[in-house]
Amino acid sequence: MCGIWALFGSDECLSVQCLSAMKIAHRGPDAFRFENVNGFTNCCFGFHRLAVVDQLYGMQPIRVKKFPYLWLCYNGEIYNFKQLQKQFGFDFQTLVDGEVILHLYNRGGIEQTASMLDGVFAFILLDTANRKVFLARDTYGVRPLFKVLTDDGFLGVCSEAKGLINLKHSTSLCSKVEPFLPGHYEVLDLKPSGKVASVELVKFHSCKDEPLHVACDTVEALPSGFDLETVKSNIRILFENAVRKRLMAHRRIGCLLSGGLDSSLVAAVLLKLMKEVSVNYPLQTFAIGMENSPDLLAARKVAAHIGSEHHEVILSTEEGIQAIEEVIFSLETYDITTIRASIGMYLVSKYIRKKTDSVVIFSGEGSDELTQGYIYFHKAPSPEEAAEESERLLKELYLFDVLRADRTTAAHGLELRVPFLDHRFTSYYLSLPAELRIPKNGIEKYLLRLSFEDSNLLPKEILWRPKEAFSDGIASVKKSWFSILQDYIDQQVDDLLLEKAAEKYPFNPPKTKESYYYRQIFEKHYSGRSSWLPHYWMPRWVKATDPSARTLKHYKSDTQE
C-alpha cells in the first residue's frame, strides 16, 4: 500500500504543485520521492512508500537498466509475479513484484499487461520512447486511483482525490477530478510539450469473466460440474488459494475480526496457512466495539477457537463522534452507511498502527456483495435478479465498501488484503447457477457457509451467525450505532436546515439530519465535488429509508431465537 501521484504538462512551478502530493503522505510513511522526467521538465512523479516487499529496491518510480525509457509508479501487490517471471523467462533486476509490469508491457503491450496481473493495483506507466502514458486499475478498484484532465492536456493522477483538488493550472481552476474506473486501462499520447491527449479507455476485465492469468495460477484446473460436493470443494480450494497468495509480505500480518462469518473465515484460513508455511510469529486479530457488543463477544469466541493473539478496542460514544470529521476527510464521500461503518474501522486501524507492529491487514470485504450476504437478498424476486444485484454491487464496490476499507486503513499507513475479491475466486462463484447462490432456509450466504461446514475451521454458531451490519455490530443490541449517532446529530442540525436541504444540495439531497450533517462536513473539505458519489447505498426490494440492517423487518440479532 503506497501513495502515487503524477503530473504531465503542468504550467505551474512543480515545486509548488508538489505540495499537493503531500496530502497523501499517510499512505506511505516509510519514504517519499519526488522525481522529474528527463526531457519533460513539466512532468513529474511523487511517491509515498509503505515498504512491504523488497525493502532495499522498492522505491519508485521504478526504472530498470533494460528499459531506460519506462517509468512506473504503482500502488498494489502483484501476487503472480514469480509465476509470470518463470513462465516468460523475465530477467528481474529487483525483488519488487511491480517490476513484472515493465516486462509484461515490453513483451506484449498494455492490454496483455493489465489482463495478466493477478493482484490489486493502480498504476501510471510512462513510455518516453513511444511517447505514451498508461493508467490502469484492478477489477474491483481495491487500490484507489483518481485523475484530472484539462481541455488543454494537463493530466494529474493520484491515489486519493485530495492530492489533486488544489492543483494550479493556467487556464482555470482544475477540471473535474474523478475516480478512474476499475477494470479499465487508458492510453494517452504524450506530446513534446509534456501535455497529453486521451486515445482510448478500455475495459480489460469483467468480474464474471475468468481472468487470463488463470493460465499461470498455482492451482490447476478444477473439476467441472455443478453437483453440490464438487462446488463446495472448489469454493474451499479457491478461497484457500486466495488467502495463500496474499501471504506475500516482509512485514507482520494481522487480521480484522468482527466475529461475523466473513472476517472469521479469513482469520481461520489465514492462521492455518501461516502455520503451514511456518511463519514465526502469532497472528494478531483485532476487534472493535462498545462494551459487550455482539461483534466483540463473537470475535472473542473465534479468536479462542483458532488460537490468535487477540486485541479488543473498546469504542466510546464520545470517541466515535469525535472521529466523524477526520473519517469523512479520509473517505472523500458523504455516503451514510459508508461513514457509519468507517468510524469503527478507522479507530481500530489507528490502534493497530500505534500499539502493534502489524502492517499487512487481512479483512473480509467483498463477501457480502459476492455471496449475497445483505439481508435484503431474502426479498429478491428471483434468483436471476439476485445474481444481477450481486454483480451490480461488485461493480460499485469502489464507491462504497472497498473505498471504506482502503481509506480507513491507509489513513494509518496500513496495507489491506481482501481475499474474497480474488479474481479467480469471484469469477468461479459468479459462474455458479443463480439458484445455488441465493439465501436458503432464511439464511444468507448459505452456500458459502455450507462449503466450510465440515472443515472445523470455525465454531458452528459463528459459521451460521446471522448477518450484522458492521456499523451495528459494534454497538449494543439495545441501541445501535446509527441511533446513537442520530441522537447526537439531532442536536446539531436544525429542522429548518433539513427542510431547505434540497435547495442547498440539489444533487443527492440529504433526507435526514444525519445525512445533512455528513454532507456539511464533506462540502467543507470538498466543496462542489458531490458527483464523486453517484447515489447513496440503500437496500433494494424493501421500502427502506435507512441503510441499516436493523431497520429491516427480517433482521435478527444474536439475542433473538
Catalytic residues: 2
- Answer yes or no: is 124 a known binding residue: no
- Grid cell locating 133: 502514458
Residue type, 120: V
Kind and range of the H or E run holding 477: none
Distance, CA of 14 to chain centre: 30
Residue 149 in marked binding region: no
Reported in sequence order, the residue ranges of 170-229 that DSSP labels E, i.e. its strands, are: 178-179, 184-190, 196-203
The identity of residue 345, as a single letter, is M
Residue type, 551: T
Please check if 163 is assigned to a binding site. no
Whether 114 contacts 136, CB under 8 Å: yes
Cβ contacts of 50 within 8 Å, gap of 6 or more = 1, 2, 27, 28, 29, 30, 359, 413, 415
CA distances from 489 to 291, 333, 492, 512, 521 (A): 22, 18, 5, 10, 12
Residue 468 to residue 557: CA distance in whole angstroms: 8
**What would the grid cell of residue 162 be?**
485530495
Q: Could you count the other beta carbons within 10 Å of the beta carbon of residue 531?
A: 11
- Least Cα distance to 513 among 488, 530, 493 occurs for 493
531 annotated as a binding-site residue: no
Distance CA 456, CA 198 (A): 53
Instruction: Judge whether 97 is annotated as a binding position.
Output: yes
- Using CA atoms, how far apart are residues 482 and 478, in angstroms rounded to an integer? 12
Q: Which residues are annotated as a binding site?
A: 97, 256, 288, 363-364
Binding residues for ATP: 256, 288, 363-364
Q: Annotated binding site for L-glutamine: which residue ranges?
A: 97
